[in-house]
Every structure is written in structure tokens, then in C-alpha cells.
Amino acid sequence: MIVASPLRVDEPIRLPYPEPMNVAIVVLIVVVVVALVAAILIVTRTALRRVALSSGRMIAENFSEKDIVLSDPAANFFGLASKGGRQVRGNGALVLTLHVLWFRRIGSTKPLEIPLTTIEFVDIVRSHAGKSVGQDLLRVGFGGDSAAWYVNDPRAWIDSIRPQ
């Protein structure tokens, strides 16, 4: 037998829906979070555009269009395996010509130049030098070391670097 407790007159009645003030706070929090995410996306996109423009200028200064087999002005460098995970990762210009694989990170003055004759292997990995972005990376082995980049189409890079 279920016995209902008597309703006391001095207790407020609890409604089955939230109070208007709580709803307003939740809505405000959601709006603020959405605005922050939008701002972060806009800033990130603007920064990547600037990187691509700067890298595009670097490519144009160092190579003629007819010499370029492939290029990526916003390649994300994962470093050299020999230096481990403590090196700075960064975006820059990656260029493949008939003779060299060339990379220069934004803010750096010295490019990494890998003559194609010294390349020992090229493959796709998911991490390099202790770093990962959960995407396929282009890895190039040369002179007992290796370097890796996040590029748009790593398979196209491999097909172009490997001797036919």
C-alpha cells in the first residue's frame, strides 16, 4: 500500500520544468561557448592563410614554376627523427623538384634540402618523432635520418618522389 505524504501549505510547489533564470544561464553559457569556438576558428583560418601566402612567396623566390613537380605552401613539419620530440614543429613551404625535396619553415632562414639521390625510402606513417595529429604523414628517409610532414595528399608525394 502506497501512502502519500500530506501536502504542506507552507512548502513551495515544485514545477516539473526548470526555473526561467536557470534556462537563461544555460542559454548564455551555450552562446558564449559557440562564440568562442567561432572566434578560434576564424583566427586559425586567418593564420593559416597568412602562412600559405608567406610560403607561396618563399616558393616563388626560390623556384621557377617549370621546376616544381609538387608544392605545398602550408606543409606541417614534424621534424627530424634524429632530434626527437623536443624540436619545434611548424608550417612552411615544401617543394619537390626533379632534383631536390626542399622545405623551409615560416620564421626560419635555413631550408632543409634533401637531394633526391640521397632518399632511402618514402612512406606514410601516423606519427613521427613522438608527435601525431591522427592523420597520415609523409615520411622521407635520407642519410640515416628521416623527416615527416602533414600534407594534403601524401600518396601523390610518394608517387612523385619514388623513382619510376
Distance of CA 56 to the CA centre of its chain: 18
pLDDT of residue 93: 93
Q: Per DSSP, what are the bridge partners of residue 149? A: 77, 138
- Give CA–CA dist 67/163, Å, rounded: 17
Q: Could you tell me which residues come within 8 angstroms of residue 134 by beta carbon, excluding any fewer than 6 positions away?
A: 126
Terminal alpha carbon distance of the chain: 86
Report helix, strand or coil for 17: coil
pLDDT of residue 48: 73
Cell numbers 615560416 correspond to what residue? 106
Please give the model's pTM, rounded to 2 decimal places.
Answer: 0.70
Q: Do 140 and 96 contact (CB within 8 A), yes or no?
A: no
Residue 81: Cβ-neighbour burial (10 angstroms; 0-12, 13-18, 19+): middle
pLDDT of residue 85: 75
pLDDT of residue 164: 46
- Give CA–CA dist 129/145, Å, rounded: 11
pLDDT of residue 75: 93
Q: Please identify every stretch of the chain with a pLDDT value under 70, giving residue numbers as ranges.
A: 1-9, 11-21, 163-164
Q: Do 116 and 100 contact (CB within 8 A), yes or no?
A: yes
- Give CA–CA dist 62/104, Å, rounded: 11
Cell numbers 627523427 correspond to what residue? 81
